A = this chain, B = another copy of it.
Amino acid sequence: MRQNIYLSNISLNEAIDIFLEKIKDFKLGREYVKTYGANGRVTAKPIFAKISSPFYSCSAVDGIATVAKKTFTATDKNPVRLKEGVDYVVIDTGDPIPDEYDCVIMVEDLIWVSQDEVEIIKPAIPWQNIRQIGEDIVEGQLILPQSHRIRPVDIGALIAGGVFEVEVYKKPKVAIIPTGTELVEPGEELKVGDIIEFNSRVFAAQVEEYGGIPTRFDIVRDDFEKLKAAVDKASKEYDIILLNAGSSAGREDYSKKVIETLGEVYIHGIAIKPGKPVILGKVNNKPIVGIPGFPVSAYFIMENIVKKLINFVQGYDIKDKRYIEATLSKRIMSSSKYLEFVRVKLGFIDGKYIAAPIERGAGTTMSLVRADGVLEIPEELEGYEKGTRVNVNILKSEDEIKNTILCIGSHDLILDIAADLLAKRGKFTLSSAHVGSIGGILSLKDRETHFATIHLLDVETGEYNKSYVKRYIPNRKIALIKFVKRIQGLMVKKGNPLEINSLEDIVKKGARFVNRQKGSGTRILLDYELKRLGINPKDIIGYDREEYTHISVAAQIAKGNADAGLGVFSAAKIMDLDFIPIANEEYDIAIPVEYLELEGVKQFLEVINSEEFKNELDKLGGYDYSNLGEIIIIE
């Protein structure tokens, strides 16, 4: 097995320029649509007013039309009296001004002396409260330029200007072809090795937002002829083709070969991360993009290339990324060979924006769900130091970010539950970045988070969290809010066939153990308990066998590859294992005392102290909330 593993490494902007230049002769059709149905469409030519608006002089207010000269002497002391039919007519907003009158006095300025007589106490000036012909729009005036995306307000101006139909570009029809032998449709029975196909569904929603009409093809297996047939058909019936995945250079990546056979490949590989193995080409004179399979890579290709493409074919240059300046909460390294897109959480702390980088893996759809923004690290840089002021492309509004309570620290899914209950109240959002307990404490020290969630066992004292806060954050007065005790226990096969009821039993029964990696909280807790109980780790079979997550420990036991492992209740529950509680891990909130006064923090604390939240904890199981809400001030 050998394969061509070399892709080009051209810059994103250069790649886009080349691609758009190559496809610039591709033309979308045009059509006339009713103006009232034209929202979001792109004008195919400039649009000029056919009539003036207003097309006659009319009143801008409710009142009376009169002659200004007759009012010139009016004062508080010497009011001028006017008679209906002789000096004035009553007029409503929008009514035409009769030729004999030259001004309108608004109803609020009239003193009624009888049914048909008014007095006024200040002079009117000619033309006051009169909308002149063409005041809004003059016949022949340009209302909209070409290649303009029509907005609701534009519809008003167009109709007011007598334009009831507009010539717009046809929406580009976009074919989305999912390819991959491992892909299955949602709802099909899953076996190991299957991947539920969802990228095409994300693309379809994105294409619609970008202004195209998506059509999703059936999944095509990794088969050159089948893929070729699908692309050929798509290129004849659609304006743009998206092929996902098979854009890399692996054994079964046929995208490039198919495009080369049917048309031309202009670019294969762009210096961005994630997203490098993209293909840009043309088949039957239609632009085609081969999009990588990892969902995060795919997202950035959609946002940075396909969005531009869909707008370009309508003559529209999209420039809608929004940026804010934020302080980076931790050092971040990046290869100087790539433009890298780093997902970040954003908060507004002590008057400045803070950007906390989150997972960088290309496969994690949740990192996109969680991201508040994207930091773009240019090709020429090797990253940024902690504390650097950086520009962040924001995915939320600034108002939303300002109403976000930022939590940096160790993650637990009860944070998501609390976030949901907080969101339900309408105003504030909880955003959490997962960097572990020590990372959270360092962010607190550097004023980069509202609070940190921590679970740090002091192996000298057996006490959780307190000593760490004291040692690491000498510069701030911190409140330690007791949150929950997480029950750590031994996970064993359903029915507990080896009758394991304690750590001692592991040794006694000769059970095959599966451990967590060094440095993890669970490993530290295990070592502390073993020492306390006087158990020698060497006597445990499998002590050296490390897994990296609670759930992979549970999976090994479920598969029968091990008999026991230490972990949290939820992992045992998911893998349908028995669970024997061993010790409690104290998961607490460390927060600067002054932030206790913030409205968002107050609401968050109300949420976690509520019965509703405790009910949710009961439903999950594995949590002890007997001390929840206790506050210890650490100075």
A→B interface (CB under 8 Å): 1-3, 5, 35-36, 39, 46, 51-58, 60, 62, 90, 92-96, 99, 107-108, 112, 115, 126-127, 131-148, 151-157, 159-160, 162, 164, 180, 182, 186-187, 190, 192-193, 195-196, 198-199, 201-206, 208-209, 248, 250-252, 293-295, 299, 315, 317, 319-323, 361, 363-366, 368-369, 397-400, 403, 413, 416-417, 419-420, 423-424, 426-427, 546-549, 551-552, 555, 559, 561, 570, 573-574, 620
Contact = CB atoms under 8 A, between A and B. Distances in A.
A32 to B, nearest CB: 14
Contacts of A573: 140
Nearest to A47: B420
Given A35-B201, A320-B400, A413 B138 contact: yes
User: Residue among A138, A205, A208 with the most chain B CB within 10 A?
Assistant: A205
A546 to B, nearest CB: 7
Given A136-B361, A141-B416, 15 more contacts: A52-B574, A58-B193, A60-B363, A131-B363, A132-B552, A135-B364, A136-B365, A136-B366, A138-B570, A144-B369, A148-B423, A154-B369, A315-B426, A320-B397, A320-B400
A366 B143 contact: yes
5 contacts: A46-B420, A133-B552, A140-B413, A143-B366, A320-B399
Nearest to A423: B145
A163 to B, nearest CB: 9
Nearest to A292: B93
A132 B551 contact: yes
A7 to B, nearest CB: 10
Contact of A164 (B5, B94, B187, B363): B187
B152 A252 contact: no
A429 B144 CA distance: 12
A315 B423 CA distance: 9
Contacts of A320: 397, 399-400
Contacts of A546: 126
Contact of A315 (B135, B143, B190, B424): B424
B250 A107 contact: yes
Contacts of A548: 127, 132
Given A201-B159, A204-B36, A423-B145, A52 B551 contact: yes
A251 B62 contact: yes
Contacts of A186: 35-36, 159, 164
A156 to B, nearest CB: 4
Contacts of A58: 193
Contact of A551 (B133, B416, B551): B133
A248 B423 CA distance: 37
Nearest to A39: B205
A308 to B, nearest CB: 11
A160 B209 contact: no
Question: Top 3 A-B pairs ranked by shortest CB distance?
Answer: A159-B198, A142-B416, A152-B205
A95 B155 contact: no
A211 to B, nearest CB: 13
B192 A96 contact: yes
Contact of A96 (B187, B193, B204, B549): B193
A533 to B, nearest CB: 28
A135 B355 CA distance: 23
Contacts of A420: 46, 142, 145-146
A536 B135 CA distance: 32
A198 B551 contact: no
A133 B365 contact: no
B251 A136 contact: no
A365 B53 contact: yes
B159 A248 contact: no
A477 B60 CA distance: 44
Contact of A319 (B151, B400, B416, B559): B400
A551 to B, nearest CB: 4
A146 B154 CA distance: 34
Contacts of A144: 369
A141 B369 contact: no
Contacts of A555: 57, 133
B56 A153 contact: no
A551 B397 CA distance: 44
Contacts of A35: 186, 201
A519 to B, nearest CB: 14
Contacts of A323: 398
A368 B157 CA distance: 9
User: Residue among A2, A53, A182, A420 with the most chain B CB within 10 A?
Assistant: A420
User: Residue among A36, A204, A293, A561 with the most chain B CB within 10 A?
Assistant: A36
Given A62-B251, A155-B201, A417 B142 contact: yes
A156 B201 contact: yes
Given A94-B293, A152-B206, A398-B322, A561 B426 contact: no
A232 to B, nearest CB: 25
User: Residue among A3, A95, A369, A552 with the most chain B CB within 10 A?
Assistant: A369
Contacts of A140: 413, 570, 573-574, 620
A93 B251 CA distance: 10
A146 B616 CA distance: 15
A549 B136 contact: no
A506 to B, nearest CB: 22
Given A107-B5, A198-B155, A363-B131, A138 B62 contact: no
A73 to B, nearest CB: 19
Given A135-B549, A137-B365, A322 B319 contact: no
B46 A152 contact: no
Contacts of A366: 136-137, 143, 157
A328 B5 CA distance: 56
Given A198-B156, A420-B146, A3 B57 contact: no
Given A152-B202, A549-B135, A321 B399 contact: yes
